[in-house]
Amino acid sequence: MTSDSKPWYKEPWPWILMAGPGLVIIAAIFTIWIAVVSADGLVADDYYKQGLAMNQRLERDHQASQLGLHADVMRAGLNVRLLITAKETTALPEEIVLRLTHPTIDGRDQNVALKSEGAGFYGGVLAEDLAGRWHVTLEDPAGQWRLQGEWQAGFDEPLRLDAKAG
């Protein structure tokens, strides 16, 4: 009787059985590498201060409602134009700040200074083109009021911003 035994490393089954755990180890190393290399821009370092400032931000929304503010934001390429309406007794500032905040990528946020063109119209230029969903905040330079909304930048229709009180 002859025995046809080979050493274990020449048999296919030990290698097949070790392939599964080996692939898991390689996937874990790759996942750790991705976690270390990519930054998470969603978490704020000063979350406690942001929480304390909530009442002040809500007061600015209430002030915009008291002034009867409404705004329409229009875009053509990199040019942004704004029409803001308010109660007749409200004086509008010479410059308004438009903040465009990307929901997930911190480095794409933009602040655009819009200069008055008269009759409630303001104009400015974006730093880079917009695509996708954006959080929009419109506020006076003194920080007394603000209007907020969400904008799908790919559409041609203007964004309507209304005061949110309450």
Tell me, yes or no, whether 33 and 53 share the same domain: no
The residue-averaged pLDDT of 103-110 equals 83
Residue 3 lies in a domain: no
Tell me, yes or no, whether 60 and 129 share the same domain: yes
Question: Tell me, what CATH number does 109's domain have?
Answer: 2.60.40
Residue 1 lies in a domain: no
CB atoms inside a 10 Å sphere around CB 130: 19
**Residue from 129, 132, 125, 128 nearest 154 by CA:** 132
Question: Are residues 153 and 130 in contact, defined by beta-carbon separation less than 8 angstroms?
Answer: yes
Quote the tokens at residue 36.
Answer: 């270390």
- What domain range includes position 19? 9-37
Give per-residue pLDDT as tens, 10-26.
Answer: 999 999 999 999 999 99
Residue 2 lies in a domain: no
Give per-residue pLDDT as tens, 59-99.
Answer: 787 777 888 888 888 888 888 888 888 887 777 889 999 88
pLDDT over 70, % of the chain: 88
Q: Does the pTM of the predicted model rise above 0.85?
A: no
Residue 31 lies in a domain: yes
Residues 164 and 166: their CA atoms lie apart, in Å, by 7
Residues 97 and 4: their CA atoms lie apart, in Å, by 83
Tell me, yes or no, whether 17 and 86 share the same domain: no
